[in-house]
């Protein structure tokens, strides 16, 4: 019997595991199906950086004294002086992945090669029964019980409906989500033409990487086409006051809004969490500028404000044909391309192992979790245990949900609820902005 079992070991549940490591009275276990920690391996290209400062590590924003901080990771790896002299605020993405792996490998509560197959409420034990299986040759099955469960299973890649029928073995490596880009990177760079779909950071990084595979004159490498539904390829909001949307203050304000208004706001605020870093946009512009030296035209095209309405494979030409609509002009046109990389983000989905418990969850009208201020899911009253979620509450907590800035704060909020006491002190106010009407 455990006090807490976490399902999934991504950065968010790993943050909870690291913070709870300092609470000896809590018996914790965190399970993940992967053989070892990995974080978006398909996008760990050289030169890519986190979009948040290094202080937004697993623990520092709530407990800078923790041994699992990024700074302590640097010290343990004798990299403190090189880091200091590099004057970095935004660290390489590959190093963030290595840092998280270091934490996961040293926390005794983290267990990999453990795929959870069933989560059920056991009324006899008055606890959740968590069943998991090893991927080894014997496929050993184990079961543990716990009073509290934290789901941190992450999100799944989202692909526009017209492209989904092409995600088959026949088109493997030529129609893919950006999550698999690094695996097929060399093959894509050898093609004549590649279309990237999606205006976020992933789409920008894939487009930039493909441009860099062109030779100096732009004659070699693929023709790079970048499409997006958004009206512009816009930078992510990164002003000091604008970033206060990623504070507990804004979460509290957002949660108090009517559901319809919350739904509208999430769509309206796309630049807060779906924009591109200014540095990446500048790098793309610089690459295109280089291609025009001597009067040549860049072998690239950027098309914002475009929706894909249809897609099919033309066997005769060995091309993919995209039927597109320019949203502002309401004009339809076709594009032919040798490959498509869909950098269209991720979304929370209901994990299959939740089946036995699904009937006891109080889903909203759209089949999503109802989540309270402590990230606790609303359950049938006969379930006396508690179920929490991480990164599945965009609809109730707003744009900070997938952002690493709030990971330690959210994990600490959950930890305080799990322990039923204030294990970690959380600030009553974190923003200068007053969201909503001022009080008397």
365: CATH: 3.50.50.60
Do 323 and 366 reside in the same domain of the chain?
no
Instruction: Choose among 399, 419, 110: nearest CA to 271.
Output: 399
**Residue 306, in any domain of the structure:** yes
> How confident is the model at residue 296, as a pLDDT?
87
> How confident is the model at residue 220, as a pLDDT?
80
Instruction: Choose among 106, 92, 104, 95: nearest CA to 34.
Output: 104
Residue 218 confidence (pLDDT) above 70: no
The boundaries of the domain holding residue 398 are: 2-156+346-419
pLDDT tens for each residue of 255-271: 999 999 999 999 999 88
State pTM to two decimals: 0.94
Beta strand segments in 219-330, E:
223-227, 300-303, 306-314, 319-326
User: Which two tokens mark 84?
Assistant: 């200091």
Q: What is the DSSP letter of 17?
A: H
* Domain count of the fold of the chain: 2
Do 331 and 412 reside in the same domain of the chain?
no
User: Which two tokens mark 158?
Assistant: 């989202």
Average pLDDT of the chain is: 95
Do 291 and 214 reside in the same domain of the chain?
yes
**Residue 215, in any domain of the structure:** yes
Do 145 and 124 reside in the same domain of the chain?
yes
Where a domain ends, among 342, 369, 388?
A: 342
User: Which two tokens mark 208?
Assistant: 């930039």
pLDDT tens for each residue of 366-418: 999 999 999 999 999 999 999 999 999 999 999 999 999 999 999 999 999 99
pLDDT band at 76, cuts 50/70/90? very high
**Residue 396, in any domain of the structure:** yes
Phi-psi bin for 375: left (phi > 0), alpha (psi -120 to 50), beta?
left
d(CA 272, CA 340): 26
Residue 217 confidence (pLDDT) above 70: no
């Amino acid at each position: 019997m455990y006090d807490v079992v976490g399902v999934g070991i991504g950065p968010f549940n790993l943050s909870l595991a690291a913070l709870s490591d300092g609470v000896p009275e809590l018996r914790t276990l965190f399970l993940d199906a992967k053989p070892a920690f990995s974080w978006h391996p398909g996008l760990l290209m050289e030169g890519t950086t986190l979009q948040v400062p290094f202080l937004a590590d697993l623990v520092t924003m709530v407990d800078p004294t923790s041994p699992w901080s990024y700074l302590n990771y640097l010290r343990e790896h004798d990299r403190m002086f090189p880091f200091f002299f590099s004057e970095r605020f935004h660290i390489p993405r590959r190093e963030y992945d290595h840092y998280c792996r270091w934490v996961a490998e040293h926390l005794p509560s983290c267990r990999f090669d453990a795929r959870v197959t069933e989560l059920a409420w056991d009324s006899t034990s008055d606890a959740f029964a968590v069943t998991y299986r090893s991927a080894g040759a014997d496929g050993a099955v184990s079961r543990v019980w716990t009073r509290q469960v934290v789901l941190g299973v992450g999100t799944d890649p989202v692909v526009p409906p017209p492209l989904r029928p092409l995600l088959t073995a026949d088109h493997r490596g030529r129609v893919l989500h950006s999550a698999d880009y690094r695996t097929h990177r060399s093959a894509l760079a050898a093609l004549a033409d590649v279309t990237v779909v999606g205006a976020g950071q992933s789409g920008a990084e894939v487009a930039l990487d493909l441009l860099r595979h062109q030779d100096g004159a732009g004659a070699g490498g693929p023709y790079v086409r970048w499409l997006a539904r958004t009206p512009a390829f816009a930078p992510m909001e990164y002003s000091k006051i604008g970033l206060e949307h990623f504070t507990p203050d804004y979460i509290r304000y957002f949660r108090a809004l009517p559901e319809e208004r919350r739904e509208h706001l999430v769509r309206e605020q796309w630049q807060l969490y779906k924009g591109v870093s200014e540095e990446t946009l500048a790098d793309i512009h610089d690459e295109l500028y280089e291609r025009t030296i001597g009067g040549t035209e860049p072998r690239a095209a950027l098309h914002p404000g475009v929706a894909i309405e249809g897609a099919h494979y033309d066997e005769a030409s060995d091309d993919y044909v995209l039927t597109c609509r320019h949203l502002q002009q309401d004009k339809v046109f076709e594009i032919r391309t040798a490959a498509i990389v869909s950098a269209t983000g991720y979304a929370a989905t209901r994990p299959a192992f939740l089946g036995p418990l699904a009937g006891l969850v109080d889903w909203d009208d759209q089949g999503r979790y109802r989540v309270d201020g402590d990230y606790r899911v609303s359950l049938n009253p006969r379930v006396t245990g508690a179920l929490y979620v991480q990164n599945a509450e965009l609809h109730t907590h707003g744009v900070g949900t997938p952002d690493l800035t709030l990971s330690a704060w959210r994990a600490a909020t959950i930890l305080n609820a799990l322990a039923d006491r204030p294990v970690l002190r959380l600030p009553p106010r974190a923003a200068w902005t007053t969201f909503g009407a001022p009080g008397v």
